Amino acid sequence: MSKAKVFEDYFSELQADMVSICLEYVKNQGDNIYIYCSNESNMYSVAYFYKINGMLKKRGKVNEELPDCDVSGSMQKAVMDILMEDLRKIEEVCREFNRQVPTEIKMIYDIKKNSLKTEYQYELVHSNHPTKTARAVEIDWFNELNQFNRENECST
């Protein structure tokens, strides 16, 4: 007897696929993966970065800590293409199951613990702002995490 897939199954599979491609990019190494997704006003944006050896690294700089990683433009684009495809599929699944489509998704995957924490936003984050962009929100999140990381280093 087969059990029909439910919304949560599809949604979780797509998030797992996003984590998987980002994990593959660093050859299953590092501390955390951070994935940012924005879907507002028919504009999609995705980004990813890492915490490796306790240091936050943008995707093009992970080889500073993991020299065997391919950070070429073509590799980064391949990961971005998959993330973008998954984000669009998340929207399709939400619409198919009559669920609200998130405007923003922030995922933090702990590589060592194999655990995922996700925050969803359903209100507009940047498209109703006169100067803010999805890229600016992603950069703000990176900087916020980097500052938090530095403060915690200083307190230990």
- CA quadruple 80, 40, 129, 126: dihedral sign: negative
Element housing 85 (H / E): helix 73-96
Q: 63 exposed, middle or buried (CB, 10 Å; 0-12, 13-18, 19+)? A: middle
Reply yes or no on whether the pLDDT at 31 is more than 90: yes
* Backbone φ, ψ for residue 28 (5° rounding): 60, 30
Report the distance separating Cα 129 and Cα 113, nearest Å.
Answer: 37
Q: What domains can be seen in the chain, in order of their start residue? A: 7-155 (3.30.500.20)
Share of the chain above pLDDT 90, in %: 85
Q: Using 50, 70 and 90 to split pLDDT, how confident is the model at 67?
A: very high
Q: Which two tokens stand for residue 109?
A: 């995957």
Structure confidence at residue 147 (pLDDT): 85
Report the distance separating Cα 148 and Cα 74, nearest Å.
Answer: 31
pLDDT digits (tens, 9 = 90+) for 33-55: 999 999 998 899 999 999 999 99
Q: Which two tokens stand for residue 46?
A: 């995705």
Q: Which two tokens stand for residue 114?
A: 């194999």
Report the distance separating Cα 76 and Cα 110, nearest Å.
Answer: 21
